[in-house]
Chain A
Amino acid sequence: MHRLRRSVVAAVAAVALAGGCSTGDTGAAEVWDPIETPNRFIFSINQAVDIIALRPLAVIYRDWVPEPAQKSVRNVLDNLGEPVTAINEVFQGDPNRAATTMARFLVNSTVGVAGLFDVATRLGLERTKEDAGKTIGVLAKVEPENGGFYLVLPGIGPSNARDATGLMIDYLVDPFRILTFNLAMDWTAYQAARYGMNAIDYRSRTIFALDDLEKNSVDYYAALRSAYTQNRADQIRLRREKTDTKSELERRDNLALVR
């Protein structure tokens, strides 16, 4: 049944079959989740870890660390992520944007003191954030809601076949990971600090949204699965939009929401 929902063709076929029924369920809203049972298992472990450790740390970080310090931490982490973003922008067919990202990286790494200060934004070089999951989504000839099967990653959370592959690619091409490896630095400590801070920083910014989603849903797992898929699809659409403005609007018309 969920397989049906994997392509826009199937969705359109479903609309045709429903024959304009007032509550015609195109099902396009459902995410393909063939391994729901193991996913829910990982999800509950992640939830436990979140309640015990990650969320409290994120709350302390948000409420106790001074705002400028938080901003600096985010700037440094963002700056370390710029090369990966630039690589992805090249593969997304946007070399100009990749050049801007690299310019940001050079300015912030030097004038911005190793990324502590985001000087580049003040110079009019706005920040973008791309990842390989999005790149696959931009290049793939499927609707962005279709990221392959849904997957809950231990410690990371909601993902899917596309985004998990993307994570792995980003990890492999990350110049900073390669650099520390080649310089034979104590890279486990470096990695732990970077990814740990990234997790706390990211979690501190999602406290409000995730609390809201959990409180207002009857099945948090399903609500998060849907929200994650829609949000990623929206990000991919924004990147695709330059060449294809119509896709999302056409899809909206096919949804049961629009009767």
Chain B
Amino acid sequence: MSLLAVRRVMSRRLLLRRAGLGLAAAALVASPALVPPAWAADPANLIESVAAQVIEIVKTKTGADREAAIRQVLRTNFDLPAMGRTALGKHWNDASEAQRTRFLAAVETAEARAYSERFGQYAGQTLTVGKVMARPNGVTVVDSRLNQTSGQPIKLEWEVRNGGQGPLVTDVKVEGVSMVMTRRSDFNSYIQNNGGTVEPLIKELEARAAR
């Protein structure tokens, strides 16, 4: 792709985003009653705020403090129960209420730990939010680029949904690889290789969380 083409794509993205915002503003003025809550709180703002919070935490906190702070960011900005439910797939229905609660708690710990370790290597990366696409089924896809200090930027896509408590992140895709879908394959395979029930998986996740 030539430089010109890149510039063209970038400006198109900006235009699209502006058009989206303009539309939202127009809708707000015209008929507030018809506006779904997702329009009011811009999903792009959510992603930008998450990125800013995470960078702040990584700069100021380390170790257990960092993990706790990251966990708080995940709790307030991610729809962790929905992510966990999707990751468990069809096995969610087989799980008892107690198992579901234990599973979600273990997954939350695992995610918080994974993210704080991932950001442990932070070296001045920045996040540029690009195109925002609203889907008819209520999901908004926010494109972004993680700019590295050296090398190619990494493509990050965020799926944002509004389940009544304002927009929340329901999935992150890194270079096309969905975190939730990968976990789902992972969990499903583990369950099938361990007797077909969720109990061994929950035990394994709890053991890892306790480590």
Q: What residues make up the interface of A, taking CB atoms closer than 8 Å to B? A: 23, 25, 29-31, 67, 100, 124-126, 128, 208, 212-213, 215-219, 221-223, 225-227, 230-231, 233-235, 237, 249, 252-253, 255-259
**CB contact under 8 A between A23 and B176, given known A223-B182, A226-B185:** no
11 interchain pairs, CB-CB under 8 A: A23-B92, A29-B185, A67-B150, A126-B1, A223-B185, A226-B185, A227-B177, A234-B175, A257-B181, A258-B135, A258-B137
* Separation of A223 and B190 alpha carbons in the complex (Å): 10
Residues from chain A with a CB closer than 8 A to the CB of B184 are 29, 226
Contact indicator A31/B185 (Cβ below 8 Å) = yes
Are A216's CB and B110's CB within 8 A? yes
B205 interface hit (Cβ, 8 Å): yes
Q: Which of B85, B150, B182 is the most central at the interface, judged by chain A CB atoms within 10 Å of its CB? A: B182
A100–B204 Cα gap in the complex (Å)? Answer: 51
Cα A210 to Cα B1 in complex, Å, equals: 29
By a CB distance below 8 angstroms, the chain A residues around B110 are 216
Is B171 an interface residue, CB under 8 A from the partner? yes
- B61 lies within 8 A of chain A by Cβ: no
**Which single residue of chain A is at the shortest CB-CB distance from B86?**
A257
CA distance A256 to B183 in the complex (A): 14
Decide if A23 touches B89 in the complex (CB within 8 Å). yes
Task: Let me know if A30 and B176 touch, CB within 8 A.
Answer: no
- Cβ contact within 8 Å between B190 and A231: no
Known: A217-B186, A257-B170, A258-B137. A212 touches B114 (CB 8 A): yes
Contact, CB under 8 Å: B186 / A222: yes
Best-buried of A225, A226, A253 by chain B (most CB within 10 Å): A226
Kindly list the 4 A-B residue pairs having the minimum CB-CB distance in the complex, ordered from nearest. Answer: A234-B176, A222-B189, A226-B185, A25-B90
Q: Are B118 and A212 in contact (CB under 8 A)?
A: yes
For the complex, give the distance between the alpha carbons of A217 and B177 in Å. Answer: 14
